[in-house]
Amino acid sequence: MKKGLFKIGAVCVLSTTLTGFVPTFLPNATHAIVSEAAVIGDDYPSTWKNRPLGATYDSWGMATRYCTSFVANRLSRVNKFNINRSGYSWNANMWGSNAKKQGYRVDMNPAVGAVAWWTGMHVAWVAEVNGNQVLIEEYNWNNSGAYHKRWISKNSVSGYIHFKDLSSSSKPSTPAPKPTTPKPIAPKPTTPTTPWKLVASRGVYVVPSNRYVRNEPKKTSRVLATYIKGEKIYYDYKVNYDGKTWISYKSASGTRRYVAIN
């Protein structure tokens, strides 16, 4: 039997559950094509997983523990593909249109390693295709901020994004190793090296409207990402500079970020 693609004497029948669609099988029914599963499990980095939901941004500018961050990380680790922001907003509802603008195929044909995308603000990674059933792996399903997998109907999505699908030869046989926790960064000298002064002030800021993340507390500083209305920012310092009040936090890379709050 050819590995990765085979036939079974069954056809999927959908039964709705609280977690999605679960395939059951009828004997002696018509044949359905099955793509071998590539279920990996929760391989999301512990450095982001163990922090509060949306507490920081990942290496691709996605808020951590959200669906977009999980899929961006999975694409990088397993598909060997990295999201190129290209100046676009990468909120979940924009993934399909962004991919099309960048020249990637978006259609209704699922494949292992493709991205399942919903305009209703969700993305997931395709692990298995079984006729009209698709097994997805995802994060923040039902606002849990955690790993989840479920079966869905093939046509229940807005589209499948084919950044770099997995072939049967490239499908991982074992879960990718989880990243190790980086060593603590040695504290820097207390002598100030910037014209602004950081004032210790811990808190949680609920974003009232879209706020830009910058690498310096300056209105002319480069925009790195965007917090959207309703998201939370966990900060540990405040800065008054350039006519603005800024909150500041350290990203997962250890670099300090700034967000103007007035």
Taken in order of first residue, the domains within the chain and their CATH numbers are 37-162 (3.90.1720.10), 199-260 (2.30.30.40)
**Which tens digits make up the pLDDT trace of 228-249?**
888 888 899 999 999 999 999 8
What pLDDT score was predicted for residue 146?
Answer: 96
Is residue 124 within 8 Å of residue 160, measured between CB atoms?
no
Q: With a cut of 70, list the residues of the chain below it in pLDDT.
A: 1-37, 167-193, 252-253
What pLDDT score was predicted for residue 38?
Answer: 74
What pLDDT score was predicted for residue 194?
Answer: 80
Give me the residue label for tokens 């849990």.
Answer: 144
What pLDDT score was predicted for residue 121?
Answer: 95
* Residue 158: DSSP 8-state: S
Amino acid code (one letter) for 13: V
Is residue 172 within 8 Å of residue 38, measured between CB atoms?
yes
Question: DSSP for 205-246?
Answer: EE-SS-EEEESSSSTTSPEEEEEPTT-EEEEEEEEEETTEEE
What pLDDT score was predicted for residue 25?
Answer: 35
Closest C-alpha to 141, from 112, 116, 176, 106 = 116
What pLDDT score was predicted for residue 8?
Answer: 30
